[in-house]
Amino acid sequence: MKTFQIVFNCLNGHRIIVSDTFAGQQGKCSKCGTPVIIPDANPLPESEAIDSIGGTPMAVKTTCAFDDGEDNPQRLRDQVVNRLNEPTPFGSIDEPKYAAGGAQEFRPCLRPPTPILTVLDDSSMEHGEDVRIRQETLRIGRTSGDVRIPHDVAISGAHAEIRRTPWQGGFQWHLHDLDSVLGTFVKTDEAVLHEDKIVMLGYRRFRLKHLLTLNGNPDVVDDDFMSSDRISDDVVPVLAEASARPEALRFALRSDRLVIGRMGSGADIEIDDPLLDERHAELKLLQDGSWTITSEGTRNGMWVSISITLLTPHCYFRCGEQRFRFVIP
């Protein structure tokens, strides 16, 4: 009989890989000792597949998944006792069932975990006002929603929403932009750029465009010519500031690798912005013609626009000028 590997996360976000022969059984994370229930090996339906920043979506698993709980409370209690008394089914045979040094920390097994959304203070990525997400959806907006930011004019009336969905015996949380005017952005170290993707570096927003070199002028743009059958071979990709201002910045990408930094840093692309590091981000042309942008270890990071994305157990996003932290304890 052919076997498969099941890949999932514990409550603390550690990746776990086990054989599907253990599906439905109880185990524990080898890194932190958190109890888990190994999910079924059924693949995620195509209708639920969502392109997320930073990799393939994975569920945050609860420690148990039971049925008939509402109709038969006694049966539910029996299932809990039976599951918690089962031996650890994966890992080495000498791996202890109980964590060294005492009892494990409590984790809920009959309900979803309770994520914490932090409305971050302006000068911090750690401190702010905590909101615990116990409902299936939480809406963020300037004039309506569960979390309101009335003094930020860059936030739409109903800007974004966090939604909890069941997935393979556990739960996932996704962030949805609600067609906001200025968009919802997620902090990431790497992203693939295309023309409908906006990347925020410091105070400015940029997008990738393709400009034709017509009559030796790299600043001439002709969308009709671009879409016609007469398209030229001489296409110059451009990193353009997403702004209607006449003085909006535009940088022709004439090399397959370019460093972006603040003014006077010696970077290939220098931007007058105090929020940027000397080497803030790097653009790279891939063999398939697409461009990636990476930014690692910078103080203010890089933020990329999303429509829907998976929220990992510890991540950041922003609406308008308000930054948020999402954590699953």
CA distance 91 to 42: 21
Question: Which two structure tokens, joined as six digits, stand for 230?
Answer: 């007469």
For residue 91, with 0-12 CB atoms within 10 Å meaning exposed, 13-18 middle and 19 or more buried, which class applies? middle
Question: Which two structure tokens, joined as six digits, stand for 265?
Answer: 């840093």
Residue 37 CB partners (closer than 8 Å, separation 6+): 24, 25, 26, 27, 61, 62, 63, 64, 65, 83, 169
Residues 192/196/198/204 CA torsion (nearest 10 deg): 140
The residue written with tokens 């400009």 in the block is: 211
- Give pLDDT, residue 240: 95
Q: Tell me the pTM.
A: 0.69
Cβ 249 vs Cβ 240: under 8 Å: yes
β pairing state of 137-141 and 128-132: unpaired
pLDDT tens digits for range 212-232: 444 445 444 444 333 333 334
> Quick check: helix, strand or coil at residue 98?
coil
Cβ 190 vs Cβ 294: under 8 Å: yes
Under DSSP, the state recorded for 214 is: B
CA distance 308 to 312: 13
Which CA distances in Å does 128 have to 124, 187, 274, 302, 316?
8, 17, 24, 21, 13
Residues linked to residue 174 through DSSP beta bridges, in sequence order: 163, 310
Neighbours of 319 (CB within 10 A): 26
For residue 54, with 0-12 CB atoms within 10 Å meaning exposed, 13-18 middle and 19 or more buried, which class applies? middle
> Quick check: helix, strand or coil at residue 260?
strand
How would you write the pLDDT of the chain (329 residues) with one tens digit per residue? 545 567 777 766 677 777 777 777 777 777 777 777 777 655 444 333 334 444 334 444 443 444 444 556 666 566 555 555 554 443 333 445 566 667 778 888 788 999 999 999 999 999 999 999 999 999 999 999 999 999 999 999 999 999 999 988 789 999 999 999 999 999 999 999 988 899 999 999 999 987 644 444 544 444 433 333 333 445 779 999 999 899 999 999 999 999 999 999 999 999 999 999 999 999 999 998 899 999 988 999 999 999 999 999 999 999 999 999 999 98
- Give pLDDT, residue 196: 86
Residue 217 CB partners (closer than 8 Å, separation 6+): none
- Give pLDDT, residue 149: 98
Cβ 117 vs Cβ 325: under 8 Å: yes
> Quick check: helix, strand or coil at residue 116?
strand
Which H or E run includes 84? helix 73-85
CA distance 173 to 162: 7
β pairing state of 257-262 and 235-241: unpaired
- Give pLDDT, residue 13: 65
Which CA distances in Å does 24 have to 20, 87, 104, 165, 244?
9, 13, 21, 19, 55
> Quick check: helix, strand or coil at residue 200?
strand
